[in-house]
Amino acid sequence: MDDTPILKRLRDELASQTFAQDISASQLNTACLIDELIATDTNLNLIQACDLLERACAAGDLYVVQSVCEYVDFFIYRSFALVLSLRSAHDDIALWLIEHEGVDLLAPISRPDQINVMLPPDSTFTRSALTKSSTYLFLNILDPTPATYILRDYSGFEHLDGKSYKGHFLLSDTARCIHTIIEKGIVDNTVYDDIFRSYIVYANRKFRDRHTEQDLTDAKICLQEAEFMLELHEARKDSLGYGDERLYKFLEDLIVPKCPDEIFEFLTKLAPDVLLKKLYESKWLQDDFDCIANHICDLKPAKEKRYNSNLLICLAMHNKLDEIKYLETWYGAFDNDAFDDAIAIASDLEFIEMAAYLLSLKSRILNDEIKTDSDDLLGQMLL
């Protein structure tokens, strides 16, 4: 189906609206054009309808978005429209799409029961990104999904029909917009998890391949938002819309050889269980122990004693005497034989000062534990 003059003008106006000096005048023009398009009862095909919706989301024109959604009977795919509204930090549009239209960021292609035209390939609408209809979602945290595209600048190939267009993109603005959406708890757990995954993967890549100060700034923004999401999950994890245990699996999958130091710092402060579990299970991390040893001062014990005991042994094995002193307050965090194993390793390696310190630490911790137990028993008797 050929474009009508009104449709062409509307698309061009939306494309220029992002860069218009007088936004109100531009929005008035698009409002008149969409009203005229609807009044002439112009029939939009599947591609034209999606392209028009996406352009309006990129331009930040809520009136056009609402008008198109009301006018078009069937959209084969609307998730990328939500991607563009978040990318360009139009939270009013993103909120309306989610709350009023029920648009799901990870929704699959819609299949009409009866339609008289041949459907275009799925990749036309999904940009080859995986959706939750795929069995491969989250199998590899580096695989792109629609949430990945939120954090990407405009490439000039977003258009499905007509001329190319670009919208506003500044990562700090995008992050603010996502923050608003996430805080409301209006996305499901899978979308929440995927946005979190996109943040940490983006930060990891920027830290690893840093070239400019802007790379570092953007990476830090992503880690800050990931921290917000992790803390929000901890506070609201019994409520739908705030993620699930996959968040910790994503963090664990980040820990690979040559992982940036900033990621280890993040894990040390916010996910010690994840970090110490990985240390327990990975020989390469036990050998490349400085990655963790450099952040011991901020580390808290894991819930499982075997992970803490393994840390104690690694510290002894690498003769990290200064670092092991940060574990002095970890009362009750170790297995019963952890100190004996660490002392034996230090002795075998002839780390005499380390062995002596561990023997003293064992005595002090055991005495404090016995004292604490006695105090608790006395308190119960007095009650």
The answer to whether the CB of 204 falls within 8 A of the CB of 257 is no
Lowest-confidence range among 121-125, 244-248, 330-334, 343-347?
Answer: 121-125
Q: Are 55 and 11 in contact (CB under 8 A)?
A: yes
Angle between helices 213-236 and 189-208 (to 10 degrees): 150
Write phi, then psi, for 4 (nearest 5 degrees). Answer: -85, 160
- The angle at the Cα of 114, spanning 110 to 117, to the nearest 5 degrees, equals 85
Spell out the domain ranges in the chain: 1-126, 286-383
Q: Is the pLDDT assigned to residue 143 strictly greater than 50?
A: yes
CATH of domain 1-126: 1.25.40
Contact criterion met (CB below 8 Å) for 54 and 46: no
Residue 315 scores a pLDDT above 90? yes
Q: How far is residue 334's CA from residue 358's CA, in Å, rounded to a whole number? A: 13
pLDDT tens across 272-305, in order?
A: 999 999 999 999 999 999 999 999 999 999 999 9
- What would the pLDDT profile of 108-122 be if each residue is shown by its tens digit? 888 777 666 667 777
- For the entire predicted model, the pTM comes to 0.90
